[in-house]
Amino acid sequence: MSKNYNSLLEEISAFVPKDRIYTDELRLLAWGTDAGFYRLIPKIVIRSVDEQEISRILLIADSLNLPVTFRAAGTSLSGQSISDSILIVAGKHWEKYTISPDYKTITLQPGLIGERVNQILKPFGRKFAPDPASVKSAMVGGIIMNNASGMNCGTHANSDKMLLSVRIVMADGTILDTGNENSKRNFAKKKPDFIKGIEALRDKIRNDEKLSERIRYKYSIKNVTGLNILPFVEHDDPFEIITHLMVGSEGTLAFLSEATMRTGYDYPFSASAMLYFKDIKEACRAVVAMKKGPVMGAELLDSKSLSSVNDPTGEGLTAVLTETKAATKQELDDQIKEIETILESFETYTPVHFTDKESEYSKYWNIRSGIFPSVGGTRELGTTTLIEDVAFHIENLPEATAELQALLVKHGYADACIYGHALEGNYHFIINQAFDTDEKVRKYENLMNEVKTLVVDKYDGSLKAEHGTGRNMAPFVKYEWGEAAFEVMKEVKNLFDPKNLINPGVIFNDDPECHIKNFKPLPLTNAHVDKCIECGFCEVNCLTCGFTLSSRQRIVIRREISRLRKSGEDNERLAKLEQQYKYLGNQTCAGDGLCSMSCPMNINVGDLTHDIRQEELPVGSLGYKIGDFAANHFQGMKSILRPVLSLANGAHSVLGTKTMTSLTKGIRYVSMDNFPLWTPAMPKAYYPHKITQKSEPLKVVYFPSCLNQMMGTAKETPDATPLVDKTVQLLQKAGYEVIFPKDMDKLCCGTIWESKGMMDIADRKSAELEEALFAATEQGKYPVLCDQSPCLHRMRNVMTKVKLYEPVEFIYTFLKDKLDFTPIDKPVSIHITCSTQKMGLRDQMVALASLCSTKVIVPEEVGCCGFAGDKGFTHPEVNTYALRKLKPQLEKAGVEVGYSNSRTCEIGLTTNSGIPYISIVYLVDQCTTAITK
């Protein structure tokens, strides 16, 4: 690292804590990788927290002539957010917002995810208008700075149209708020030449009628090639121009710390239809016709796109996913009829059918949103998936689309697909490409040269419609726009960033071959994750994203480790990555698998983690032997642990919570975190006992999880009845006879061993349990209830002989009509465990809680709790980070008790929320009485 970088590190360390400054091999690679197909490794990564910090960093970097690049979610596809210098991340700490009293504007920080903004606005009938397909993962900063748009916003409701004002930090650290009069006045005094420069460019463009007309024409369709120079012809005020110059600038002009935007009207009624055509030109002609009707969106998917998502109807066809929205049901019906009339003159492969059922049309749109990762998943492993997006004027759409398709075939990309926002003339095309030889690189280069000729020379369209210019289109900006417009863009860049230190190489790049350099390798590493294209869609559900590593970053590092192992080129770097991965990648991975739920290819990084743990505990190793011994002597292990819990509970009662907490924290500190964490939420022991039963016609086999066979309630729990006894009480109240499997104290579902990577032992324990349950149910005659959601999830994955239910599902399915519910008038909080979500029981759990309370709170942005079996004991920092947003929401809502369906999760939730969390069984029992016949 050069002297200047060392100087910067020394200066910023005075105000940025070291745990937010990364210079180690592993995190430089992890954070230096985004969703695009290029890679640069930064020298320093800084996790920023506020505007003042950014300002000071930029001032120092400016004084040292060091380039800086900004990144939010890292879902950009064209090489916008990578750097070989300083990378500043503005994500997890940048999530504040305020909504205007009429809900028509919202002020946002850049780290808010687009879908989160929609969730915030939905109760008020409003929405975040820009709607890229990555809206569930992309952050506001990236959406605005790339002018990312999508299915419905077109050019009429993109970021440029919805933006009202910005707060920005300029290259020299100057802060400007274009929505604040004092800020504007001070800026004009401090930088009068800057304002004069903006006004001079405005007047220069307006005095050039040909250039002004050129700008209007180019932006009549989607266009993000180069800087956004439309503000010069649309706005008079220099601060308005500055505001809108930010849109699509890709972080090359300034850092966006805040944006105020108009919100869009969220139509309450919607309907969609998947229209199939035999011919792509016919499909495009239908889109051109529908453009004149009440159509909000029309997404074209060619046959390759449809096959990538296993569409059973689409083989050899082209589909157009069409949507219309309305304020009333009658208006929606009228619009559907109008669209159907338009389509009468076109031959569709199947009859036109619109559905207004969200459960049906949401499946269509989920397919559409997942096309890019899904196509990437079908590529030859080891190759890279590239995506380009071009736009044509609507009247040219049928011919241009067919020619683009032919062009891809001509250059040998037979597996390429075309899809996208046909209503706006905007298409994406995806190709799978290797760059391991000069010949393959030239193949890609030749394709792009012909695409340039087709889009620009023949149809005067946009080479980049919504994904940002990036490195892959930087060489073609001048070619598309011409000399005059390109000079304007360069003058804008020079005004904002005269030293070219802000995201250099993006949009403006003097290297004509920058688009065919620095490609990102995607080597094979593990069959569970090899299909990953590193899009980052998984990260929204990864609890350690922003803490240690995200699911995507774990794959990135494992790929590099595999590459280095195979090549043998740098054993020292390999050793560093392997050592650093132990904690950051392996030990802090919850293995919960929620990442798969937002991955279009269902890639579960938890499977990768289990494989790694299995490699580290081979058969015959000490760790494996201990695990095997515990499995073979499970009853004895429980007998040992119960007295330990009793001892801890007794000490807690004698010493008090404060002393006990201090003592155990001290022991943990002295043992260098090798001693498990104790918290006041730790339960006392439970000793199984004979339960009085009477014969009933309704029977259920109840398997209490290992934990609930050992653990009673915690000291401050509102109901001291152990869960096993409480569950039996509830079942008997509903008229059930409860059957326990034989030798229950020896049985386990295997989850404990699975989480440690000892899969063979886990499967052995599962098989033992299944046989015991099969016998107890009289060969599957009765249902089986397990009181622990994670255990039940594993049981469902590996058992086939019995019908399995967790508490929410069993109560809602079998007990609801046998109990009389009297809801309490107190707010209750519900925690949806990972396994509950993966089993699709989220809505059922909320519905059950709503039968018991008039106000059910499901805390926002609280996913996996991070307890992860025993992680809450061994690595409590993961649990604390995962639940960092929980307590304020509970306090605001006045919640006194929370409910879930996993004992370990409840310990972590209690510890980090300040209120007791217990099984939802307690809530149901509290609020019900038996229905008398």
Q: What is the CATH number of the domain that holds 126?
A: 3.30.465.10
Helices (H), 829-917: 834-838, 842-852, 871-874, 876-882, 886-893, 903-913
Is the per-residue pLDDT at 653 higher than 70? no
Is 261 in a helix, a strand, or coil? Answer: strand
Nearest-10 crossing angle of helices 571-581, 551-567? 150
Per-position b or e across 315-334, b if 16+ CB within 10 A of its CB: eebbbbbbbbbbeeeeebee
Assess whether 709 and 832 both reside in one domain.
Answer: yes
Decide if 394 is inside a domain.
yes
Q: What CA–CA distances, in Å, run from 125 to 132, 175, 217, 270?
A: 20, 33, 34, 14
Q: Regarding predicted confidence, which is higher, 312 or 173? A: 173
How much is the average pLDDT of 130-151? 91
How high does pLDDT run on average in the chain? 92
How much is the average pLDDT of 710-721? 87
Nearest-10 crossing angle of helices 789-798, 759-776? 90
Decide if 342 is inside a domain.
yes
Is the per-residue pLDDT at 175 higher than 60? yes
pLDDT tens per residue across span 500-526:
999 999 999 999 999 999 999 999 999
Least confident of 417-426, 644-653, 841-850: 644-653
Assess whether 355 and 479 both reside in one domain.
Answer: no
Reported as a pLDDT band with limits 50, 70 and 90, residue 882 is very high
Is the per-residue pLDDT at 726 higher than 90? yes
How much is the average pLDDT of 32-50? 95
Strands 68-71 and 86-89: parallel
Reported as a pLDDT band with limits 50, 70 and 90, residue 200 is very high
Whole-angstrom Cα distance, residue 138 to residue 286?
A: 31
Is the per-residue pLDDT at 417 higher than 80? yes
Least confident of 241-245, 464-468, 522-526, 886-890: 464-468
Choose the final residue of a domain: 616, 632, 661: 616
Contact 128, 264 (CB under 8 A): yes
Name 390's bridge partners.
Answer: 427
Phi-psi region at 67: left, alpha or beta (left = phi > 0; alpha = psi -120 to 50): beta
How much is the average pLDDT of 897-911? 94
Contact 314, 306 (CB under 8 A): yes
Whole-angstrom Cα distance, residue 160 to residue 182?
A: 24
Whole-angstrom Cα distance, residue 458 to residue 619?
A: 65
C-alpha angle 704-709-713 in degrees, rounded to nearest 5: 105
Torsion over CA: 399, 401, 404, 406 (sign): negative
pLDDT tens per residue across span 304-340:
888 888 888 888 999 999 999 999 999 999 999 999 9
Reported as a pLDDT band with limits 50, 70 and 90, residue 680 is confident
Assess whether 571 and 706 both reside in one domain.
Answer: no
Share of the chain above pLDDT 70, in %: 96
How much is the average pLDDT of 666-674? 57
The values of phi and psi at residue 269, to 5°, are -120, 135
Assess whether 532 and 463 both reside in one domain.
Answer: no
> If residue 929 lies in a helix (H) or strand (E), which one and from where to where?
strand 928-930
pLDDT of residue 671: 54
User: Which tokens sit at 616?
Assistant: 């580290």
Is 588 in a helix, a strand, or coil? Answer: coil
Reported as a pLDDT band with limits 50, 70 and 90, residue 372 is confident
Assess whether 777 and 895 both reside in one domain.
Answer: yes
Decide if 625 is inside a domain.
no
Contact 256, 110 (CB under 8 A): yes
Highest mean pLDDT among 430-434, 757-761, 854-858: 854-858
Whole-angstrom Cα distance, residue 562 to residue 556?
A: 10
DSSP one-letter code for 394: G
Beta-carbon contacts of residue 386 (< 8 Å; ≥ 6 apart): 37, 430, 431, 432, 433, 444, 472
Reported as a pLDDT band with limits 50, 70 and 90, residue 667 is low
Count helices and strands in the chain by DSSP H and E runs: 40, 29
pLDDT of residue 675: 62
Reported as a pLDDT band with limits 50, 70 and 90, residue 655 is low
C-beta neighbour count of 629 within 10 angstroms: 12
pLDDT of residue 872: 87
User: Which tokens sit at 340?
Assistant: 């159907």
Whole-angstrom Cα distance, residue 291 to residue 297?
A: 9
How much is the average pLDDT of 669-695? 73
How much is the average pLDDT of 133-138? 90
The pTM assigned to this predicted structure is 0.92
Half-sphere exposure of 96 (CA within 13 A, CB side): 6
pLDDT of residue 566: 95
Assess whether 239 and 309 both reside in one domain.
Answer: no
Contact 291, 342 (CB under 8 A): no
**Which amino acid is it at 759?**
M
> CATH code at 410?
3.40.462.10
Choose the final residue of a domain: 483, 505, 521: 521
Is the per-residue pLDDT at 660 higher than 90? no
Whole-angstrom Cα distance, residue 842 to residue 900?
A: 11
The values of phi and psi at residue 304, to 5°, are -70, -35
Decide if 652 is inside a domain.
no
* Nearest alpha carbon to residue 564 among 26, 22, 40: 26
Contact 89, 71 (CB under 8 A): yes
Is the per-residue pLDDT at 122 higher than 70? yes
Whole-angstrom Cα distance, residue 364 to residue 398?
A: 23
Whole-angstrom Cα distance, residue 618 to residue 44?
A: 37
Decide if 441 is inside a domain.
yes
Is the per-residue pLDDT at 645 higher than 80? no
Q: What CA–CA distances, in Å, run from 233 to 154, 165, 205, 228, 229?
A: 20, 18, 7, 11, 8
Whole-angstrom Cα distance, residue 446 to residue 566?
A: 32
Share of the chain above pLDDT 90, in %: 76
Assess whether 28 and 142 both reside in one domain.
Answer: yes
Whole-angstrom Cα distance, residue 406 to residue 427?
A: 14
DSSP string over 459-481: T--BS-SSS--HHHHGGGHHHHH
Assess whether 431 and 338 both reside in one domain.
Answer: yes
Domain that holds residue 162: 1-266+475-521
pLDDT of residue 397: 87
| C-alpha distance across the termini of the chain, in Å | 81
Name 738's bridge partners.
Answer: 700
Strands 824-830 and 898-900: parallel
Reported as a pLDDT band with limits 50, 70 and 90, residue 154 is confident
Assess whether 71 and 209 both reside in one domain.
Answer: yes
Assess whether 157 and 291 both reside in one domain.
Answer: no
Whole-angstrom Cα distance, residue 679 to residue 209?
A: 73
Phi-psi region at 856: left, alpha or beta (left = phi > 0; alpha = psi -120 to 50): beta
Burial class (CB in 10 A: 0-12, 13-18, 19+), 353: middle
Assess whether 246 and 343 both reside in one domain.
Answer: no
pLDDT tens per residue across span 775-814:
999 999 999 999 999 999 999 999 999 999 999 999 999 9
User: Which tokens sit at 154?
Assistant: 């077109």
User: Which tokens sit at 651?
Assistant: 């000490």
Number of domains in the chain: 4
Reported as a pLDDT band with limits 50, 70 and 90, residue 121 is very high
C-beta neighbour count of 7 within 10 angstroms: 14
pLDDT of residue 467: 84
Decide if 640 is inside a domain.
no
pLDDT of residue 648: 64
Strands 175-177 and 163-169: antiparallel
pLDDT tens per residue across span 65-81:
999 999 999 999 899 99
Decide if 683 is inside a domain.
no
pLDDT of residue 682: 78
User: Which tokens sit at 221?
Assistant: 């369709």
Decide if 622 is inside a domain.
no
pLDDT of residue 662: 65
DSSP one-letter code for 20: G
Burial class (CB in 10 A: 0-12, 13-18, 19+), 697: exposed
Whole-angstrom Cα distance, residue 750 to residue 756?
A: 10
Nearest-10 crossing angle of helices 622-632, 634-655? 90
Residues in the chain, overall count: 933
Q: What CA–CA distances, in Å, run from 869 to 216, 225, 756, 859?
A: 59, 49, 10, 22
Assess whether 599 and 500 both reside in one domain.
Answer: no
* Nearest alpha carbon to residue 920 among 759, 838, 807: 807
pLDDT of residue 766: 95
Is the per-residue pLDDT at 710 higher than 80? yes
Choose the final residue of a domain: 581, 616, 651: 616
User: Which tokens sit at 932?
Assistant: 């008398």
pLDDT of residue 654: 62
